[in-house]
């Protein structure tokens, strides 16, 4: 499967540090792509973006879509996916939450605030992408077709007020 972000792009543009396990980051990027991005773009446009990205052949509107909308969205959505699972490790010994001598884990409420903030940002980028796609008639962006996954409008998340 094509991964549309590098690990560095994710850690460079979010609060996630550069020494996070790359396998966990890749899993989060893939989850963000398959669970949210493909749903926003629809199957045909998503497959075209992935194919052109693999061939290093993104150009014109597709390059604009990728650099200005897909990439910023994926950065925030992937970070959100990491915030959901990053505190846990799964191994032969079970599921556990590693701790460090020099650090104190944040509370569940503080983690929820981080997730809510990242979700708001990801949804804002999804909404911008949706509006751009409506203005630019890309032939692969078909809302009523035989796609397995047809594009959907981004869901509006409730605002979180303290």
**Residue 24, pLDDT above cutoff 70:** yes
Residue 160's pLDDT band (cuts 50, 70, 90)? very low
Mean predicted confidence (pLDDT) in 21-39: 89
- Cβ contact 28:81 at 8 Å: yes
Q: Identify which has the larger pLDDT, 12 or 72.
A: 72
**Residue 31, pLDDT above cutoff 70:** yes
User: Half-sphere exposure (CA, 13 Å, Cβ side) for 68?
Assistant: 14
Question: What are the backbone angles phi and psi of residue 94, rounded to the nearest 5°?
Answer: 120, -165
In the chain, the percentage of residues whose pLDDT exceeds 70 is: 77
Question: Among candidates 41, 18, 47, 5, which has minimal Cα distance to 136?
Answer: 41
Mean predicted confidence (pLDDT) in 9-37: 84
**Residue 9, pLDDT above cutoff 70:** yes
Q: Kindly write down the DSSP assignment for every residue of 112-152, as one continuous string.
A: HHHHHHHHHHHHHHHHHHHHHHHHS--TT--SSSS-SS---
Domain ranges of the chain: 18-92+103-135
- Cβ contact 41:146 at 8 Å: no
> In the predicted model, what is the mean pLDDT of the chain?
82
* C-alpha–C-alpha distance, residues 51 and 65, integer Å: 14
**Residue 27, pLDDT above cutoff 70:** yes
Q: What is the pTM of this model?
A: 0.81
User: 114-153 pLDDT, tens per residue?
Assistant: 889 989 999 999 999 999 999 998 989 876 555 555 566 6
For tokens 């749903």, the residue is: 39
Mean predicted confidence (pLDDT) in 85-97: 66
Residue 10's pLDDT band (cuts 50, 70, 90)? confident
**Residue 94, pLDDT above cutoff 70:** no
């Amino acid at each position: 499967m094509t991964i549309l972000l590098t690990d560095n792009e994710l850690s460079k543009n979010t609060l996630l540090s550069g020494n996070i396990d790359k396998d966990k980051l890749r899993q989060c990027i893939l989850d963000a792509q398959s669970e949210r991005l493909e749903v926003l773009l629809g199957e045909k446009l998503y497959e075209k973006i992935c194919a052109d990205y693999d061939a290093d052949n993104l150009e014109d509107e597709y390059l604009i879509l990728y650099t200005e909308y897909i990439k910023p969205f994926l950065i925030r959505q992937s970070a959100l996916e990491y915030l959901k699972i990053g505190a846990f490790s799964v191994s032969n010994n079970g599921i556990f939450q590693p701790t460090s001598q020099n650090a104190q884990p944040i509370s569940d409420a503080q983690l929820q605030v981080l997730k809510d903030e990242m979700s708001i940002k990801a949804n804002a980028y999804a909404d911008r992408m949706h509006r751009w796609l409506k203005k630019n008639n890309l032939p692969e962006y078909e809302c009523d077709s035989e796609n397995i996954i047809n594009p959907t409008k981004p869901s509006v998340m409730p605002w979180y007020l303290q």
